[in-house]
Amino acid sequence: MMVMASRPASAVQWVIMRRWLVIGTALLLASCGGPTMRPSVPNGVVPPAASSSLPSFTMELTSTAFVQGSSLPSSVTCDGQGALPPLVVSGVPSGAKTLALIVADPDAPSGNFVHWTAWNIPPQNGSLAPLPPGSVQGMTSIGEAGWVPPCPPSGSHRYVFTVFALDVAPDLTSSAGETDLRKAMEGHVLAETKLVGKYQRTK
């Protein structure tokens, strides 16, 4: 039977001491804020903290006659005077050259019914009814320019008022309609805002 010679005690102690020395050094570095691993950033990618923020616009359309999702007063419909609803726009971006407006009923039996279109509205915060001087009103679904009061044949309909801030002044005449306006606005919308009202006739 072969007996293996054991390592001298001093050698074993030296190995144990080296291990403890390595462990102790690592703990000391960690407690003193030693070098830490940082996630690498791919070339050409800017960390979020250093990236420049894009400008954000919070344009808003409100009315004193109704709030978002509520019923329109009869005074602005065919059951009343058919008056223009009071509209106020705020938060217009500083780079806007003009504003545009589209009011439509997506619940109409024949599809999207356009009640009002306008463009080249001065890009300023304030009232849109009546429209400021210089504005152009376009065709509606009845083939006429100007405001067409809501008059749903049955049920409750939504009326979507949308204002667009544009970096151009659309070169359109008053014979143009919603389709022409949307085509002219492509690639030029800086911001937009919507206000939705509902109406159901009781007569």
pLDDT in tens, 112-168: 999 999 999 999 999 999 999 999 999 999 999 999 999 999 999 999 999 999 999
Q: Is the pTM of this model over 0.75?
A: no
The pLDDT value given to residue 26: 54
Question: Where is average pLDDT lowest: 11-15, 165-169, 174-178?
Answer: 11-15
Span 60-199: which CATH code?
Answer: 3.90.280.10
The contacts of residue 198 (CB under 8 Å, 6+ apart) are 69, 70, 71, 72, 156, 157, 158, 159
Question: How far is C-alpha 54 from the chain's CA centre?
Answer: 13
Give the three-state DSSP class for 182: helix
Q: For the segment 66-101, what is each residue's pLDDT rounded down to a tens digit?
A: 999 999 999 999 999 999 999 999 999 999 999 999
